Chains A and B, each alone.
Chain A
């Protein structure tokens, strides 16, 4: 049998499918499998799908060098409120902050609702203690009082606890003491403390995050223990690693301690896969665009790294409306989510205008053309009418689409009411859903001070490659890239990523007033923690491939918002706060055109990211001399193009028969099993050596 460390396994439990990617480390050969998710016992689909895959490629469980896992389990537990009986302990006087929130209305015209807090008021307790803004003790922790609280928790049958004290990010002593006491009193129930879960200023966000961590800790614990046990049964002998929402990976122990960091791990893996493909495309910066059945997710990759954010929201009560969910302050690969997918339903609103989404027909009943009982018109139905999808080649022909049903749904629900033909109504669905995505993309890009014209759009997901050309054209981007294996992109991200750990500590001070030694201490502690975690993940913590990235959230003194400024290693080594100040002014000016150099600079938060060496997984280079694309031509059909104002007879190509180096002009349809790529008349199509399909747009 072959050398044991030959294969890397990635598996991603999504809402509908569980995806597997198995990579042969030496050859770069990729094997895929896809099975239906088993929501009540998610590990079952994992074991079944994995066994089938291993059998197929004749690999034993013992041959797997590493298994990396992403899951929607935790996100779902938060959305569906299936967590444990959770208590919260706060500084005296602040237990209601969890319920009061930010006090802002996320929609100014609706008589709106807010998400229920994860911990109801009767389980929110207070401890007598207080720190000031510098972390100095104002009131010592009342340990006796805390024991009484523990007794009440026992009586209530509390299973898990979050502890959040004011300014604990400056001094965690009280939280740690409280944890020790409660752990003793509650027989080892899991306890989350805010100075570890989210050590950042702003008590509501920290409290919300800590409560959420506590809430999902028990179910994560039993799930991970069960999964690891069953993986052993199929012969896997090593530790299982877990994808974090930040794009790093971590051990089962850390995942159990900080399950909240696993929220949205699947989409994070998708963004990492895009970054990985970027290396082979030679494109450092791209916009990623993943459009599936219900949602579209958009992100930014810069310098081969997905952009990160420090906060996200889960469980929005008003779907996709920013501010209507629970804030979760964890490092996260930044992706915006839009209620726009193949299943998004189109309707006519009270003004007589065509609207699309966010309601989705999902997989059941699905779009009208699925023939599973859906009657309302969806984006997929429009795409069939417009010639973007071949009803006979959906999922490679595994599922037949009913084009007449698609037409009927649009006719019945839209065309008549809008006074338009079926074609125009279908074109309307396509344009409106694109506009929805464009709006979100534009605001997202504006919030980051970026210019869309500098980027390619990397499209994947079932519907992404059909819509990407129009989006790129409207944003005047360079073009579109569709990477290979676009159907299992997230799982690809799992096997190609390095171990990486992110840390943050709030430290509010004027930059010109702080001693370098103090900063060094804050950063040093985080780096040491990062190296320790790397060692746990099996990497050499002091090896040459380890990267340490430091950054600071800085602002002009008195300004309401911070920007994150990366500190280059040489700047850090020189240890000069004046240089950091200059760096801030430069970055600020780059982003917003003017900095106020007469104003002092304020430090809010220090951040560190420690990354191990990336695994050496080559993207298999495609062989074969450049061939005439005509060989890959399957036929032709009329396809609607917005810029042409009507149908154009368009050649259809088989992606699997397109050879590297192939280059030709649009319009064209390029089909693969899981998606269809629509290349408009203005695009130049080319396939690079690694199988990335480019649609270049004229500059």
Chain B
């Protein structure tokens, strides 16, 4: 080891790199235009080494992006070889096959120089507000219908905006000021990042930076290999069924653990859909395989590509998880957000203390209205269902997983759009039963208040196939989408004044046999109304008169520690308390 890179130098410098990205993140949030970036944080910013391998990210970066971003950056660099880049160049693309699987995700990459030598890259993935194309979420027959595709291009040339590209972009999106505003915010935040990087190499030199990156990657890789080695070698099968659009989707995975390497093979999953935008490109499949494994195996380590190296992914070309161009991909979270369920199902027996039951999040709600000037206004709401239970802890109500984001407050929704939010409430009985109960979903109801109808599109999920339970736990309650009390098919529609739209978001799955749940927690759930008395009897065998279970034979003597009042919480990894 180079003497300067002792465990202290490594810790100090590594932490400094993460801080650089946290600074970039802060600058981006504060200058962003859309609520998607500013409030719901649907973006990631990462730092890469000279070979475009990711070494650091902002701590709140959206996790799936951080897995696919290094691949996206390397794809872009095949088109623009590093040797031809100059300081101040900024590259961009949203090609789903090169990046994160659908057009609204912009990938922006900036080379960073130490003197005149290219030494690193900074990259961002940002979900922008609109990319043109059809308004519906699912019905495109190919990616061309889904909006503007930007091949790898120069967004800035040596610090100067590529005006033609900006004009093309402006002409093809419905809310250009939000889109251009967010793109410029990324460029501005990168400028801050570039200055911080220059300070870093002024202190340690470009060689020092590269040596640090090598060390970060090597240590992280070794840590992930160590964690994998703790899983008994073998082949583990897991399956999950997702709503899809018209046709359900089958997610089948074989997780093969061999010593310190893990391979996930998605053979047996549904073929790619030709009628619905639910297809995943391989990058996205990879990202959503890595993410749940990272949460289980190395939750407290800073994320970087070293952690990904021991993990490989295969999905047959032409399958839902490796769709061929130009398949429609816009709503790919309809399949990608279910991958963790199959992975956790596969590993539940081998790794029972580190899995999570299925989660109810998320849906997307989008309202297109016009302000007083006739300008289009898009209001996004990304509400979440309940989180799946984990060993030692009930699932949290209404929280994001595997994505992450903030709910738009009702008062903000009403300030932006001609809507009245009639209620936002927890859904009793929506959490799947288990020793550890699934988190509750929520009900949100809207009514249009203006004189004219407003255009709404909702992307629901887990309406037909709920969030699965694990290890004997029950699934969460499925979601429901209702217009004036009647089920509504997903897709854009006009909400007429006076009509009531109800979103019932699914609950999370339970973990472990509900009949073994500690009666104290059942009593608490009934008292709070999280679980109705009827459901307590049916799911948990609850006898209200006795304040206990019917069948004492099934009564667990275990006294589970619990993540809520009355007990000290315990995290599945043991590191989160």
Contacts and interface: CB of A to CB of B under 8 A. Distances in A.
B54 interface: no
Contacts of B445: 93
Contact of A432 (B12, B383, B563): B12
Contact of B39 (A110, A114, A449, A560): A560
Candidate in B24, B63, B398, B411 with the most chain A CB atoms within 10 angstroms: B411
Nearest to A443: B22
Nearest to B23: A446
A438 B33 contact: no
A201 B424 contact: no
Interface in A84-127: 92-97, 99-105, 107-114, 116, 120-122
A446 B192 contact: yes
Interface stretch (A2-10, A272-280, A290-298, A348-356): A348-356
A418 to B, nearest CB: 5
Given A559-B38, A596-B181, A427 B414 contact: no
B30 A439 contact: no
A587 B219 CA distance: 45
B533 interface: no
Interface residues on A, range: 35 or more
A109 B303 contact: yes
B29 A351 contact: no
Contacts, number: 235
Given A204-B409, A354-B11, A556-B181, A114 B31 contact: no
Contacts of A167: 411, 414
Contact of B576 (A110, A438, A449, A596): A110
B411 A202 contact: yes
Contacts of B564: 116
Contact of A443 (B26, B61, B223, B396): B26
A599 interface: yes
A318 interface: yes
A94 B220 CA distance: 45
A558 interface: yes
A99 B401 CA distance: 17
Interface stretch (B2-10, B311-319, B454-462): B2-10
B424 A594 contact: no
Nearest to B354: A111
Given A113-B576, A439-B16, A428 B8 contact: yes
Nearest to A100: B398
Interface in A405-434: 418-420, 424-425, 427-428, 431-432
Interface stretch (B109-117, B149-157, B539-547, B566-574): B566-574
Contacts of B410: 94, 97, 166, 203
A204 B442 CA distance: 15
A435 B22 contact: no
Given A350-B223, A435-B15, A439-B16, A93 B422 contact: yes
Contact of B35 (A101, A103, A560): A560
A424 B6 contact: yes
Contact of B573 (A102, A110, A442): A110
A30 to B, nearest CB: 39
B569 A113 contact: yes
A559 B15 CA distance: 31
B414 A132 contact: yes
Please classify the interface of chain B as helix (H, G, I), strand (E, B), loop, or mixed, using the class held by over half of its residues. mixed
Interface in B30-53: 30-35, 37-39, 41
Interface string B428-439: 000000000000
A114 B576 CA distance: 11
Given A94-B425, A116-B565, A108 B60 contact: yes
A114 B14 CA distance: 29
Interface in A507-558: 508, 513, 556, 558
A122 B527 contact: yes
Contacts of A130: 420
B424 A113 contact: no
Contacts of B294: 109
A203 B409 contact: yes
Contact of A561 (B32, B295, B449, B527): B32
B399 A132 contact: no
Contact of A599 (B8, B15, B177, B301): B177
A121 B528 contact: yes
Contacts of B61: 108
A563 B27 CA distance: 13
A435 B406 contact: no
A234 B393 CA distance: 52
B426 interface: yes
B576 A318 contact: yes
A335 B430 CA distance: 40
B352 interface: no
Candidate in A113, A350, A351, A428 with the most chain B CB atoms within 10 angstroms: A351
B423 A93 contact: yes
Interface string A143-164: 0000000000000000000000
Contacts of B272: none
B214 to A, nearest CB: 14
A103 B399 contact: yes
Interface string A350-366: 11111100000000000
B405 interface: yes
A446 B27 contact: yes
A508 B412 CA distance: 10
Nearest to A442: B19
Contacts of B300: 109-110, 350
A300 B101 CA distance: 43
A570 interface: no
Nearest to B356: A111
A439 B406 contact: no
A159 B415 CA distance: 35
A558 B449 contact: no
Interface in B377-432: 377, 383-384, 390, 393, 396-401, 404-407, 409-412, 414-415, 420-426
A354 B358 CA distance: 36
Interface in B517-543: 527-530
Nearest to B294: A109
Nearest to B61: A108
A367 B393 CA distance: 34
B507 to A, nearest CB: 13
Contact of A111 (B15, B301, B572): B572
Given A113-B393, A351-B301, A558-B377, A420 B7 contact: yes
A120 B525 CA distance: 11
Given A201-B409, A432-B12, 12 more contacts: A110-B300, A120-B565, A130-B420, A351-B301, A419-B7, A420-B7, A443-B22, A446-B22, A447-B30, A558-B181, A560-B38, A561-B30
14 contacts: A94-B410, A96-B425, A97-B424, A103-B383, A121-B426, A132-B420, A166-B410, A203-B409, A204-B409, A432-B11, A446-B26, A447-B30, A513-B372, A560-B34
Interface of A: 92-97, 99-105, 107-114, 116, 120-122, 130, 132-133, 138, 166-167, 201-204, 318, 348, 350-355, 418-420, 424-425, 427-428, 431-432, 435-436, 438-439, 442-443, 446-447, 449, 508, 513, 556, 558-561, 563, 591-594, 596, 599
Q: Which 7 A-B pairs have the closest CB atoms?
A: A560-B38, A93-B423, A428-B8, A446-B23, A439-B19, A111-B390, A121-B528
